[in-house]
Amino acid sequence: MARKMLIDGEAESVPGVEQGTHFDFDLFIIGTGSGGVRAARFLSNYGAKVGICELPFNAISSETIGGVGGTCVIRGCVPKKILVYGASFGGELEDARNYGWELSEKVDFNWKKLLQKKTDEINRLNGIYKRLLSNAGVKLFEGEAKIVGLNEVEGDINETSGKNQTKEVFLDSGNEAS
């Protein structure tokens, strides 16, 4: 359907839905990992009306909080790389003494400072993803959404409850669909 919409400028009729049905969205995406964000931006830039939903942001995820960017950005690849990179300097600084560096003070490690740096970077990336979606004209909902029927999603979204009619649904559930 997406390809047809991109080529012809409109989607063909939706199977199982009567002609003339009003749709709030051409595509509604549940989840904002790399795949969901890319699909939302791509299709929106080609004229599709796109909605996307993710759990509210928090740098530490749980069953009820998440954030735009998905597992890799919020709690996987990026945080791990920051922690590994930050922790790698200790040995190098000590080894530098063997190569002429005179470090006048003992080198100390501040775990809280490294954790704050990780959190700051996650916040920055979450903001970038939100701006990318907004700039592409994608409607971002923060909350929990679920498919409740053919072409229908609902959830507690942005402090309101409601249903949205959509031609297509894309599940970007990452590592765990619930």
The CB density around residue 111, as the number of other CB atoms within 10 Å, is 10
Alpha-carbon distance 78 to 76, whole Å?
A: 6
The backbone torsions φ and ψ at residue 69, rounded to the nearest 5 degrees and listed phi first, read 130, -25
Alpha-carbon distance 27 to 34, whole Å?
A: 16
- Each domain of the chain, given as residue ranges in start order, spans 24-171
Residue 105, C-beta contacts closer than 8 angstroms, at least 6 positions apart:
none
Alpha-carbon distance 24 to 117, whole Å?
A: 40
At 77, list the tokens.
């690849």
| Range 24-171 has CATH code 3.40.50.300 | no
Spell out the per-residue pLDDT of the chain, length 178, in tens: 555 555 555 555 666 666 777 899 999 999 999 899 999 999 999 999 999 999 888 887 677 788 898 888 888 899 999 999 998 888 888 888 889 988 887 778 899 999 999 999 999 999 999 999 999 999 999 888 889 988 899 877 655 567 888 999 999 877 666 5
